[in-house]
Amino acid sequence: MQEERLLVFTGHFGSGKTELAINYALRSLKQYKKVILVDLDIVNPFFRTGELKEELEGAGLKVLMPNFAASSVDVPSLPANMYSAFIDKSAKVIFDLGGDGDGARALGVFNQYFKSEAYRMFYVVNTKRPLTSRPDQIIAMKESIEQTSRLRVTDIINNTNLSYETRACDIMEGQAIVEQVSRQTALPIAYISGEKSLLEELPEDIGVDLLPISLYIKPPWRQAKNK
């Protein structure tokens, strides 16, 4: 686990950054007594951490999210209690940041707090998505998020996937692309993430830490199918 108290997970729509934020927050409970998960995803109406608020708080997390984040209101506001994530220095804080430059604008509200404390900002990349399939697209998206949030990405996470159809070879194809991005930006690759069974199929000498995740969020169409 990282030493920084403030961790941000950001990425384009479909990157899987919300799933990663949830998984990382739950893992953090093994090391920290108090973990806060802040849902700042005001872009994606379908994959919000707020949808699992009751379940996550039952597991021991404190979940903060914009007003109306789980409703049909288009522009949620940021309640005052979100500032508690910065005021309570005893808490580990995981931010789930909206999936593009517009979503990153929500984080800019807290810029002064991030500037006064060490943070880590993980840029989650899924190379199987149309707008992040090439190095130049991935870099352009990163720069857009940085410009709007007024924070700097510190690490890259390869979360290449095709949802339930993902194969180990897909992850490796994504890793080759992410490595190009890493070389061009001088940003380290913090993790390769994916379901545990898939990560076990990757080469042992891959040279990057693996981050196994469980799938907590189901798309609306899959939820309907299971009812």
Domain boundaries, the chain: 6-226
> Mean of the per-residue pLDDT values for the chain?
86
Between residues 98 and 143, the one the model is more confident about? 143
Q: Are 106 and 40 in contact (CB under 8 A)?
A: yes
Stronger pLDDT, 72 or 66, i.e. the higher one: 66
Does residue 45 carry a pLDDT above 80? no
Using only C-alpha atoms, what is the Rg of the chain? 17
Tell me the C-alpha to C-alpha distance, in Å, between residue 142 and each of 9, 43, 91, 181: 12, 16, 27, 10
Rounded Cα–Cα distance for residues 21 and 122 (Å): 10
pLDDT at 226: 46
Report domain 6-226's class: alpha beta
Instruction: Specify burial of residue 140 (Cβ count, 10 A radius: 0-12, 13-18, 19+).
Output: middle
Q: How many CB atoms sit inside 10 A of residue 91's CB?
A: 19
